[in-house]
Structures are given as structure tokens and as C-alpha cells.
Amino acid sequence: MIKIDNLKFFEPSPYFRKMLILDLINENENITQKQLSLSVGIVPSLINKYLAELKNDGLISISKVGKKARYNLTSEGISELNLMKLEFFNDIVSLSNKIDSHLENILLKLKGKKHIAIYGAGLVGKTLCQLLINKGFNVSAFLDDDPLKNNTRIEGIPVVSPDTPVKYDALVIASFKNAISMAEKALKLGFRDVYIFKMEDFRLVWYG
């Protein structure tokens, strides 16, 4: 099961939590409420509420083995879990398709360019880096004005100062606030094929 607990902007819905609980029980009928609580990321009292709802809906059965509770998916529960998983992955595919449509502009602008340097080793630069790598581009280097970041690496990619010679076919400026001034500095340093990455609408704009 794909986990989304580390994604800040995707708060798990009750429907998602039900799917997760069913999936965890399906994998381990001896799982405890405490383990379910830790895995789902909610307090034990809420886990107990979900379990009661799933039992009332006929999706799980609960039996006692000594003092411990044992949970099992019913045939209806297995069918419901499979349907939930199908809907979940359908949503992921739909989201992926929407993201790909936004990325078309970036790919067209960089068509024929293989080695990309990114000016800005912050959140925007890291996000852009992942997008480009996923689409088969080679990110040759990060440039950054912060001396504390220089001579470090991000995902194995070196971070260097802007006046360091780097191998590149296009330089992409990645910054929320300072994109224009960074682009001007890059041109003064002799960089050409400079683009500004506009994160708000996933566009590349040629600057010089």
C-alpha cells in the first residue's frame, strides 16, 4: 500500500483510513489496536470506532483468543478492500495525468537539451530536480549563492557557487522571490540559455 503520511498537503480521509485498516488486518489478523493506531496515525480510541463501524458494515469479524482480539476480513470485506484499492490507484493515475499535462511546457522548452543546471538549491530547486530526473534529464549541478551550501550534494548532485564552470545545456532559475535578480546575475556571469521556472503554474520562461 502506498503511504501518504509524509506528504503535507494530502490529509488522509476517513475513507482512506478505512482502506488502510482493512489492508493492515488483511496482512496480519493478529495485529493489535496499538499497532493499527501507529500505522494509521490516529489515536487508539478512533481506531476502536473504525473497527466498530467496519464490523457493523459486515466487512470484518472480531473474535477473542484469550485476552487478545483477532480481526478477520469477511468475504464482503475482501471485495470492498479490492474496490477501495482500485479507486485509490485510479485517483493516483488521474493526478499523475494532470501533473504530466502541466509538465509538457517544461519538456517542450528543454527539448534537445540533456544536461540541466539548476540555479537555486532550495525547495523549488529540489522539486524541479526531481521532476527533471523523472523525465530522463540529467541534472549536472546546483548553483547557489549560499556559501554554506557550496561543496555539498543534493541527491548526489554537487552544489557549487554560480561562478563555478559547470557542464550544462540550459540553466534553470529556481526561486520564489529572487528569480529575476538571479537570472540577471547568471547572464552577467556568462550563462546563456537561461530559463526561469515559474512554480505557480509549472512553466519555463526563457530569459536570455
Give the three-state DSSP class for 120. Answer: coil
pLDDT at res. 110: 83
User: What percentage of the chain carries pLDDT values higher than 90?
Assistant: 52
Mean pLDDT over 106-134 rounds to: 86
Output Rg (C-alpha) for the chain, integer angstroms. Answer: 24
Sheet with 115-119, edge to edge strand ranges: 152-154, 157-160, 138-143, 115-119, 170-173, 194-198, 203-206
Mean pLDDT over 121-130 rounds to: 87
pLDDT tens, position by position, 41-89: 889 899 999 999 999 999 999 998 888 889 999 999 999 999 999 998 8
- Rounded to a whole number of angstroms, the distance between the first and last alpha carbons of the chain is 45
Query: 10 Å Cβ neighbour count for 183?
Result: 22
Give me the domains of the chain, ranges plus CATH numbers: 14-101 (1.10.10.10), 110-206 (3.40.50.720)
Mean pLDDT over 155-167 rounds to: 92
